[in-house]
Structure 1
Amino acid sequence: MKSDLTMNFSVDKENKTVNVTREFNASLSNVWSAWTEVEILDQWWAPAPFKSKTKRMEFKEGGRRLYAMVSPEGDERWSFFEYTSISPKKNFKHTSTFCDADENPVPNFGSSLWDISFSEDGELTVVDIVIKRDTLEEIEQIIAMGFKDGFTSALKGLDKILEAEK
């Protein structure tokens, strides 16, 4: 497996965003599928040792994905995505909201807006992600919750899945 794949992670405090750029040694089609098909998404979305468990997913504008990150002890941390824009194999946008198993949002925490773009660079696929929050405090809280390490770990899990598809 190629180990020198680029990952850039930065926080733009002025614009209240987290910016992640990540290369994958796989085709655009395979990377797009990994982000948009529940059978693949559940294999990598949660950082080990957590597992991702989707209760429902409709990948369409106005559709939702309701899922939990499940700890080894069985504790479930629920969230939902609401897809707001989809341009196949180029970009999709969604909100991400912490909630309970019945989709009731966690009070006083708001949502993240994810803007995810896909492009090819030779043999690699590049995914550019911009995650925007309402306040800098919310960005700092997500970082403090371990988002960078957790997301980095999940993306490494995606590398293994994509490598196995070759």
Structure 2
Amino acid sequence: MPVTDVTTDPENLTMTVIADFAAPVERVWNAYADPRQLERFWGPPGWPATFTSFDHTVGGRANYSMHGPRGERSSGSWEFLAIDAPHRFEVIDSFTDEDGAPLEGFPSMRMVTTFEASGEGTRMVNTSYFDSLEALEQVVEMGAVEGTKMAMSQLDAVLMDLREYAQGKGTRVELLDDTHVRITRLIEGPRELVWRAHHEPELVRQWMLGPDGWEMTEVTPGIAVGDTHRTSWAPVGDTEGEPFGFDGEVLLVEPPRRAVTTEKMIGTDGPVNLNDLNLYEEDGATLITLYIEYPDRETRDMILATGMADGMESSFQRLERTILA
């Protein structure tokens, strides 16, 4: 994770983020100056940002909204006060409504971001200046420190070529905190087909089988908000194990890039997990990113200990062999 320090200074009314990246200054600057790249990391996992306007000039404004997994929405804007490419920019950062108007009861802050060469990479320092201690405390209480750390953890994937970042590394599991996990896997194939492979029953049956010796006995992918999804598996032949399955509700669908569902084991009252599937394509390859929210740390550890990641890797290999070959 690139963030090395996040500190709040009540006396000087500041919050400062320091992060180090293994990329040159110009490359990191470009990630902040291009709205399409900003969208990949500005919101924390599960809250991706969409920039609806981006006037990267002094006096210009950028407007964005972050969309939560349960349909929540949080909007903001930057008013550019100074731009000194590729080393520094300064904005007024404000909470806004969906139309871009300042949100009553929420603070605005002056945000200064600098980029300096450091060793073989870049050190970024982001300092937000608040008008009052109450404003600083309000933003911290909203989760700014934790959210910033998790948002910055996505930047490595943006700064590197996608294949350089993920090719040959298989299914990777990262623990973001006690209840959130990020799983990534690069698939050699177009996003549109990877999306279809997750949502068309005849394709799902060909690859989402888990480890060898298991078969999918039922699949009903939800394709619209409010739909119920259901998948079941059973051992084949001499394979040991008991049949099992999952069902849940579709909370959000944005083809072909994002789908959010709840999930629990069939025949039980829970626990209920939240699965946030995101697909990003670059140069004919698609990065699958699955954010999972567990109800608690014990549930997280119990499910990961089942060998879930190994089963997912077997399925992803089958996806590439059978559908994308």
The alignment's TM-score, normalised by the length of structure 2, stands at 0.48
Tell me the equivalent position of 1:148: 145
Instruction: State the 1:121 CA deviation.
Output: 1.1
Instruction: State the 1:6 CA deviation.
Output: 5.5
For structure 1, the residue ranges without an aligned partner over 5 or more in a row are none
- One-letter amino acid of the counterpart of residue 85, structure 1: A
Residues 78 and 92, structure 2, Cα contact 8 Å, conserved in 1: yes
Count of aligned positions:
163
Q: 2:95 aligns with which of 87, 94, 98?
A: 98
Q: 2:36 aligns with which of 39, 42, 62?
A: 39
Partner SS state of residue 143, structure 1: helix
Q: 1:72 aligns with which of 69, 73, 82?
A: 69
Residues 20 and 121, structure 2, Cα contact 8 Å, conserved in 1: yes
Tell me the equivalent position of 1:8: 5
Tell me the equivalent position of 2:48: 51
Residues 64 and 77, structure 2, Cα contact 8 Å, conserved in 1: yes
| Cα distance between partner residues in 2 of 1:149 and 1:11 | 12
For structure 2, the residue ranges without an aligned partner over 5 or more in a row are 165-325
Q: 1:29 aligns with which of 16, 26, 29?
A: 26
Instruction: State the 1:109 CA deviation.
Output: 2.6
Tell me the equivalent position of 2:131: 134
Instruction: State the 1:140 CA deviation.
Output: 0.9
- One-letter amino acid of the counterpart of residue 127, structure 1: M
| RCO comparison, higher one (Cα < 8 Å, 6+) | 1
| Cα distance between partner residues in 2 of 1:142 and 1:134 | 12
Residues 54 and 61, structure 2, Cα contact 8 Å, conserved in 1: yes
Partner SS state of residue 150, structure 1: helix
- One-letter amino acid of the counterpart of residue 125, structure 1: T
| Cα distance between partner residues in 1 of 2:37 and 2:63 | 15
Tell me the equivalent position of 1:163: 160
Which protein is bigger by CA-based radius of gyration? Answer: 2
| Cα distance between partner residues in 1 of 2:134 and 2:54 | 30
Instruction: State the 1:95 CA deviation.
Output: 0.6
| Cα distance between partner residues in 1 of 2:37 and 2:27 | 10
Deviations along 1:68-123, one digit per CA (max 9) or x if unpaired, are 01112232211110000000111000011101111111113331110111100121
Tell me the equivalent position of 2:180: none
- One-letter amino acid of the counterpart of residue 37, structure 2: I
- The CA RMSD over aligned residues, in Å, is 1.4
Residues 13 and 132, structure 2, Cα contact 8 Å, conserved in 1: yes
